[in-house]
Structure 1
Amino acid sequence: MKLSKETLITGFALFSMFFGAGNLILPPFLGKSAGNLWYWVAIGFFVTAVFIPLLGILAHAKLQGTMYDFGKKVSPSFSLIYCFVIYAISIALPAPRTASVTHEMAIAPYFSNSSSLITSSIYFGLVFIFTMNRSKILNILGKFLTPLIICILLTIIFVGIFSAPDTIASTTLKAPFVDGLLEGYQTFDAIASIVVGGVLVISMNFNPNTTFEEKKELITKAGFIAGLGLLIIYAGLIYNGVLFSSTFSESANRTEVLSSLSNQTLGNIGSAFLSVLVALACFTTAVGIITGTADYFKGINNNSQKVFTVTAIIGCFFGVIVGQFDVKYIINIALPSLMFIYPITIVLIILNVLSKKYTSAIVFKVVVGVTFLFSIPDFLGYIINPEYLSEIKNNIPFANQNLGWVLPAAFSFITANLIQLKKPVLTE
């Protein structure tokens, strides 16, 4: 596979838009708990934080439209509601979380009396400036910011591998693979793939001389570059979390584990490196989310630049308000929404990657409908007493692991296609 300079820059830019707050703080913490079964945790994490997001980018390469195209086979109304929910979640949770992580790890250690509100205000002021210069985003991210992020991360990882203690603790997780799978939800990478993938498509449309096939090839290659980067960094951070697990406090939270890891690998200078890393990684993701949201609403309003600007302002305003809360609080309030929207997102991504032969409108409707239905217990489990749902969950395979939707979705996909074979008139 030939990689041109443009492909590398685009791949690096895509990686930086993926790699934000959760991508930094989740893997080492997961490694801390994974212990001797870290490889099962890593595989589960890779499924939802690397493989599914990569499929999302491949789906964008195939569709080359907007997020609306992901759900339009279900129905236009469904797709509009789905897009609104995704963008609302994106600007209300993962984007503000990047400011919160930046404050806790890059500002507060040096300015103990600093206000998180001031941090989030300055932070999203800069995000707004970058968003309004969106035509330059790929170049800025791909040429300058991403290489710096990768260099710092690889330094921490490789130094950690060769300087870690010899003892690896036993796992504290009851279901390592499932725990890794569900922790991958918190990266928001599957959602990010359909948000920032749209940014990638629209950014390429600024060059009118690029054909559909050329854009498809470029997006596909960029997706694999970003996916490979995520795989290497995640594996390294999880493994470092495992190697240094005996040195972490049992009560250490996600940001404390990452801070401790950087200090133990890079010494006193580790804090400074980590501050730069956190600020860059979080910032690039926030820019990707706000830009993607503004692009979408601009597109459904006759390409109105005014709508783009207003949406960017609203997104940054939410970022300032929610970004002042601590990271743990934002992660906790995100869980119900993730249990509701993530299964539907995963199913839509997979269906859009598969051949049209197996993904007619009827198949889309049936599979998405079944997925939505069987995701309800997982969603309700985080907002009401789980005991009220115990009888229902006990009768659904894997429901007690918050994966009750998986088998019904697969079964409905197979069943709908078998029915289609017998009734070809129902196909598109």
Structure 2
Amino acid sequence: MQTQRLSIKHYIIIGSMLFGMFFGAGNLIFPIHLGQLAGAHWLTAGGGFLLTGTLLPLLGIIAISVTHSSGIYDLARPIGQRYATGFMILTCATLGPLFATPRTATTPFQIGIASHVSAGQAPLFLLIYSLIFFSVTYWAARKPTGIVDTIGKLLNPLFLILLALIFGLAFTHPLGTAATANPTVAYQQDAFLNGFLQGYNTMDALAALLFGIAVVTAIRGMGQRQPAAIAKTAAKSSLLSISLEALIYLGLIWIGATSLSQFKLSADGGIAFSQIANAFMGVPGEIILAIMATLTCLTTAVGLATSFSEALHAKFPTVSYRTWNRLSCGASFLIANIGLDQIIAWSTPMLMFLYPLAITLIILAIGSPLFHNDPIVYRWTTALTLIPAVLDALRSAPAVIANTDWVQRLLALDDTYLPFAKLGLDWAVPALVGLLIGLSWHLVRAFMGARTYNVN
């Protein structure tokens, strides 16, 4: 099986594709908002944000490369086929038509259009905007092999030019000094941990598990055939894109912190970014921001629609890729018209549930060669992570769920018996205990097997 040697140009194209797929709606507005929340502690909070916003997605791509998995189902299969199917469906739904993909349309609309139309006109304008947005998304994602040209070669350069313009003005004419910005109460003591949890909102760790399918497809299209070569190419390309993303994140967080000198803490990063752009360039600045947000969110929407359709078509081949793509774009269009606030409110509990499971899965996959991919290690770790993950989801759910009596009683037990529960990290200790039990079981079985072999 021959493999074509790739040039630096190929790595840049694949890295650009990954950057475009990762950097979307949340990646643009959440860092800005984090900077305003953290104030003078922006760098500490940024460090936590980079762990879940950049390092964890990079590890997700590496996990797929190490295990030679074709996607999220293969990666989770050591835990069990039913679990792998359920985890894949939940992740695809979260990144697809339930939350992430609709958000790619509502975020740029909120940033660039909503403030210029009346409240009564907003639903109609959102309907028209989202219809055009997802029509383009469906067209661009109709053929998986076209994703490199669509994202890597066309949209990313335009986005980077617009972003560089905003950064140039912000760094040469800063709105204020970040060191003197007052942090909110939550970020006065726990800036790093809060930044870590804010990174969940990007959904990039989940996206990394899903995008592995698109990465493998694109690399094979360039002539790579051997699994080891594909894995190496994916790891190198993802490092390139994630490094660029990390630099942009820190710049956005810093800009958010400096903006407190002229603006009050905003309700969300979209409003803050719009105010900042207006401060630098007036209405033309807001227009540039609207174009930039639309471009970056469109690239992510194409990546999400492609990966969603690829993953579910591979698992359920009787349904065509085109049908899954239509379902993704059509459902995303409908849910987008519910509005950004409702999408974020209901996506948070799902992220608090899925992220601990994704983090442990990524760590287990990378370390799997050390314990020979033994399912017992996967299952113990996942089983003890699952319960606190459910509790985290209930804690962050909308009030109609979180404030019910039975949920409050469960959360009181969670706070009493699980460390770091109030910080949203109550899963960490149980996951570690599960890992130690699984590894111990693996070592005992390996020792017994070796002893039996020696006796015979």
Q: TM-score range by the shorter chain?
A: over 0.9
1:149-168, aligned counterparts within 5 Å?
149-167=159-177, 168=180
Equivalent residues of 1:116, 1:325 under 8 A apart:
no
Provide the aligned C-alpha RMSD in A. Answer: 2.0
1:128-152 Cα distance to aligned partner (Å, 9 max, x none): 1111132111122112211221222
Whether the aligned pair in 2 keeps the contact of 1:33 and 1:245 (CA below 8 Å) is: no
Q: 2:181 aligns with which of 169, 180, 193?
A: 169
Shift of 1:154: 2.7
**Counterpart-to-counterpart distance in 2, 1:259 and 1:426:** 64
- Retained in 1: the 8 A contact 2:18–2:241? yes
Q: Once the 2 structures are TM-superposed, how far is the Cα of residue 311 of structure 1 from its aligned partner?
A: 0.7
- Distance across 2 between alignment mates of 1:406 and 1:209: 38
Deviation track 1:369-420 (CA, whole Å, cap 9, x = no partner) reads 1110221221122232264322332321101111100122123212321332
1:16 equivalent in alignment to 2:38 = no
Shift of 1:267: 4.1
The answer (yes or no) to whether the contact 1:64–1:201 under 8 Å persists in 2 is no
- 2:390 maps to 376
- Structure 1 vs Structure 2: percent identity of aligned residues? 29
- Structure 2 distance, partners of 1:207, 1:164, is 43
CA contact (8 A) 2:176 2:261 kept: no
Q: How does 1:29-48 map to 2 (within 5 A)?
A: 29-48=33-52
Please name the residue that 2:89 is paired with.
84
- Separation in structure 1 between the aligned mates of residue 448 and residue 314 of structure 2, nearest angstrom: 31
Residue type of the alignment partner of 1:342: Y
Contact 1:351 1:364 in 2 (8 A): yes
Distance in 2 between the 1:206 and 1:68 partners?
22
Aligned pairs for 1:12-411 within 5 A: 12-62=16-66, 63-91=68-96, 92-109=98-115, 113=121, 114-167=124-177, 168-174=180-186, 175-207=190-222, 210-302=225-317, 307-358=320-371, 359-381=373-395, 382=397, 383-385=401-403, 387-388=408-409, 389-411=411-433
- Range moving further from structure 2, 151-160 or 346-355: 151-160
Tell me the distance in 2 between the aligned counterparts of 1:251 and 1:105. Answer: 13
Q: Is the 8 A contact 1:26 1:254 kept in 2?
A: yes
SS of 1:248's equivalent?
coil
Tell me, what secondary structure is at the counterpart of 1:341? Answer: helix
**TM superposition shift of 1:336:** 1.1
Letter in 2 for 1:71: A
- Show CA shifts across 1:88-143 (max 9, x none): 12221000001111222234456654521121111111111111132111122112
Aligned-pair CA distance for 1:46: 0.7
Q: CA deviation at 1:422?
A: 2.5
Gaps of 5+ in 1: none
Q: Measure, in 2, the Cα distance between the counterparts of 1:205 and 1:351.
A: 26
The answer to whether the 8 A contact 1:156-1:266 is kept is: no
User: Which of 415, 418, 425 lines up with 2:440 in the alignment?
Assistant: 418
Listed one character per residue, the Cα deviations across residues 26-63 of structure 1 (whole Å, up to 9, x for unaligned) are: 00111011111111210111111111111011122222
Cα deviation code 1:73-94 (max 9, x no counterpart): 0001110111111111222100
Gaps of 5+ in 2: 1-5, 450-456
**Is residue 25–residue 258 contact of structure 1 (8 Å, CA) maintained in 2?**
yes
Cα distance between partner residues in 1 of 2:110 and 2:269: 11
- Would the alpha carbon gap of residues 426 and 348 (structure 1) be closer, same or farther in structure 2, given more than 3 Å must change? farther
Deviations 1:237-262 (A, max 9, x none): 00110111222233443211011122
Query: Hey, what's the Cα distance between the residues in 2 that align with 1:156 and 1:259?
Result: 11
Q: Is the 8 A contact 1:73 1:361 kept in 2?
A: yes
> 1:2-42 deviations in whole A, cap 9, x for unaligned?
96101001101100000110000100111011111111210
Aligned length: 424
Name the residue aligned to 2:3. none
Name the SS of the counterpart of 1:72 in structure 2: helix
Alpha-carbon shift at residue 64 of structure 1 (Å)? 3.9
Whether contact under 8 Å (2:111, 2:273) holds in the other structure is no
- Distance in 2 of aligned mates of 1:8 and 1:40: 30
Residue 270 of structure 1, CA deviation: 1.5
In the TM superposition, residue 234 of structure 1 has moved relative to its aligned partner by 0.4
Q: 1:173 to 1:354 in 2, by over 3 A?
A: farther
Classify 1:250/1:109 alpha carbon distance in 2 versus 1 (closer, same or farther; 3 Å): closer
Most deviating of 409-418 and 63-72: 409-418
Distance in 2 separating the partners of 1:116 and 1:46:
32
Is the 2:176–2:262 Cα contact (8 Å) retained in structure 1? no
Give the Cα–Cα distance (whole angstroms) in 2 for the partners of residues 163 and 308 of structure 1.
49
Tell me how far apart the structure 2 counterparts of residues 21 and 226 of structure 1 sit (CA, whole Å).
17
Q: Distance in 2 between matches of 1:259 and 1:200?
A: 33
Q: Which has the larger radius of gyration?
A: 2
In structure 1, how many angstroms separate the alpha carbons of the residues matched to 2:301 and 2:384? Answer: 32
Q: Distance in 2 between matches of 1:426 and 1:134?
A: 48
